Structure formats: structure tokens, C-alpha cells
Amino acid sequence: MMAVQVTAADVSLFHLAAVYLGDATQWWRIAQLNGLGDPDLSGLVAPVWLEMPLPAPMLTDGLPELSA
């Protein structure tokens, strides 16, 4: 895990998930880790630090890993 500083430019957990996890639909993982229930960050006063989960390879694109 890593912590990132959320600024006013980060308008939603969808945006953060797209940037840090590579998949906007994984916003719920950030919410769960930080005790947040709403993907809209309008209730947070920026700047604030949020923990980011590590990207999950099996969740990033829905495609299985190809073996060499």
C-alpha cells in the first residue's frame, strides 16, 4: 500500500482508481481501505492523504495472464 495526497483536482474515487489502479471500476477498493462510502470526494476537504491499495493484476483488465 501507499499513501497519496488528494487535491481539489481529484474529484472522485473513480478518477483516483483510474490513475493509481489502472481501472476506474476499482474505486470501491480505495473506499473500503479508507472507510469511505461515497465515490464522490466533495465531502472531503483537500488536501487529504488516502491509502491506495496495490493494483490487483486479476482485476486490472479482465484478461487472464498469458504464460510464456
Q: What does the alpha-carbon distance between residue 8 and residue 47 come to, in Å, rounded to a whole number?
A: 7
Which pLDDT belongs to residue 67?
58
Lowest mean pLDDT among 36-40, 45-49, 61-65: 61-65
Residue 66 domain-assigned? no
Q: What does the alpha-carbon distance between residue 16 and residue 56 come to, in Å, rounded to a whole number?
A: 15
Number of domains into which the chain is organized? 1
Residue 62 domain-assigned? no
45: which 3 cell numbers?
476537504
pTM here is: 0.75
Residue 60 domain-assigned? no
